[in-house]
Amino acid sequence: MTVAFLGTGLMGAPMCRNLVATGATVRAWNRSADKAQATGAAVAATPEDATRGAEACIVILSDGPACREVLFDTGAAAALAPGALLIVMASISHPEALEFAAMTTRMGLRWIDAPVSGGTPAAQAGTLSIMAGGAAADVDAARPLLDPMGRTVHIGPAGTGALTKLINQITVASTIATVAEAMILAEAGGADPGRVREALMGGFASSRILELHGQRMIARDFVPGGPARYQVKDTAAAKAVAARLGLDLPVLNLAHELFSDLIAHGGGDLDHAALLLELRRRNGLRD
């Protein structure tokens, strides 16, 4: 099977490398060709060169509009072999996933929305959580391609993978906010935030966010694994779904406001753990 891989950025590059390491025939495209070159895949000059005649295409671009442009506006999806698997692993909105799935089906292709969670460490280790929406037979057919990247759970029909990613993102966003508040409260009250984190890791407050991002906050290490601007994209998409369903989700609304303010104050390209900085700003605290 020839696999096209579109998007070899922070997440896509290690995912592509893990697929190449299995011996799969992979043609990679990225707007910056050097990033595609570093994956070990054959480098394609254009998205269409990558997808032409391929039996599968994996896409991990920045957002839904980027996926639309590359796949449908410029013709990369149309260049795939008939019946090919189109696996979009980017974080796209639920309506976009449903729309793209319908377009894909009309083109005679098989659609899977399969966004991921775990950040760059999990992408490098091949331990991502992969949330797949699509026909069960198609997800099963895609597993040999997805298994080198992480653990795949088939959620349900097309669109449910994208919906699950939004659910993941609002959980992450609200937990980051809570952990950041905990670190600020610890410091203001005279407790060592590192010791507080260590103590909490042994109880019900333990979480991957506390483990990884709590340490990032303590070390002030905000080199982006998941940039804050992408977090806002996802919370905005989740707010739109909630509004369409007539739901009032106040914690989501607050998390979106906090991350939006972080971006407004210049933190969009920092890791989303940098929400600590916005909360410190609100409290008149300086590092």
Q: Is 165 a catalytic residue?
A: yes
Q: Are 86 and 111 in contact (CB under 8 A)?
A: yes
Pairing relation of β-strands 128-133 and 116-117?
antiparallel
Non-local CB neighbours of 273 within 8 Å, separated by 6+ positions: 176, 180, 213, 216, 217, 221, 222
Question: What is the token pair recorded at 12?
Answer: 């896509």
Q: Could you tell me which residues are beta bridge partners of residue 227?
A: 271
Helix (H, G, I), strand (E, B) or coil at 56: strand
Non-local CB neighbours of 88 within 8 Å, separated by 6+ positions: 59, 60, 67, 71, 97, 100, 111, 112, 113, 114, 115
User: Is the alpha carbon torsion for 33, 34, 36, 41 positive or negative?
Assistant: positive
Other CB atoms within a 10 A radius of the CB of residue 207 amount to: 17
Helix (H, G, I), strand (E, B) or coil at 89: coil
Active-site residue, from 35, 165, 233, 239: 165
Phi, psi for residue 56 in degrees, rounded to 5: -150, 150
Question: What is the token pair recorded at 89?
Answer: 């692993």
Residues with catalytic roles? 165
